[in-house]
Chains A and B, each alone.
Chain A
């Protein structure tokens, strides 16, 4: 039972354009969501998070949107840069419990 799903295994975007990475979840008890970024041969690094009491959180070029009724969140990167090329994981937790990760989306930003 995949509670957190990233249905796009890969995404290719032109440099300077917007990248939109999507994540769906099934557990309505999830109240905290995170995005991690992972380069090859490295561990993941935390990127941005959002609590279920918000519908948007912004940090520089990165914005996460949460649609609770649709059980959907998305990460927007504007403008995209070649250094953003990586695998992006969304993750969710309920009431401070264990994080459940999605499968990841590999973003490729082309110059």
Chain B
């Protein structure tokens, strides 16, 4: 099935470890996004990209890094994991900026202990 693929689905990290959350889409969308969802909260934008080679910060970028070397891939990097980064992470891609044609991945549940 076409769409947005996120890996891994679950991960437990120790404080200070690093990891990369992978996101791939096969719809040739220019816009890609990383959101986090904390319990009882809405989605908060971490980083976004409007095309290969172009990325920008969202509401909560601290502690994360991204790259967009191809249209298809938009990995999210956590360098020094902290308990505050325990969350569910969603990647999305969209044909437009407004997310009305967005596809979201299934999410990555990350726990930092």
* Interface residues of A, Cβ cutoff 8 Å to B: 4, 6, 9, 32, 34, 41-46, 49, 89, 91, 93, 96, 98-104
Take A43-B92, A43-B105, A44-B90 as given contacts and tell me if A34 and B45 are in contact as well, using a CB distance cutoff of 8 Å: no
Count B-side interface residues using an 8 Å CB cutoff: 23
Per DSSP, chain B at the interface is loop
State A34–B97 Cα separation when bound (angstroms).
13
- The 5 tightest CB contacts between A and B, nearest first, are A43-B104, A101-B42, A101-B43, A103-B42, A102-B42
State A91–B104 Cα separation when bound (angstroms).
15
Take A42-B106, A43-B107 as given contacts and tell me if A34 and B40 are in contact as well, using a CB distance cutoff of 8 Å: no
Let me know if A44 and B43 touch, CB within 8 A. yes
* Interface residues of B, Cβ cutoff 8 Å to A: 4, 40-45, 48, 58-59, 90, 92, 97-107
Take A46-B101, A49-B100 as given contacts and tell me if A101 and B44 are in contact as well, using a CB distance cutoff of 8 Å: yes
Q: List residues of chain B with CB within 8 A of the CB of A42.
A: 104, 106-107
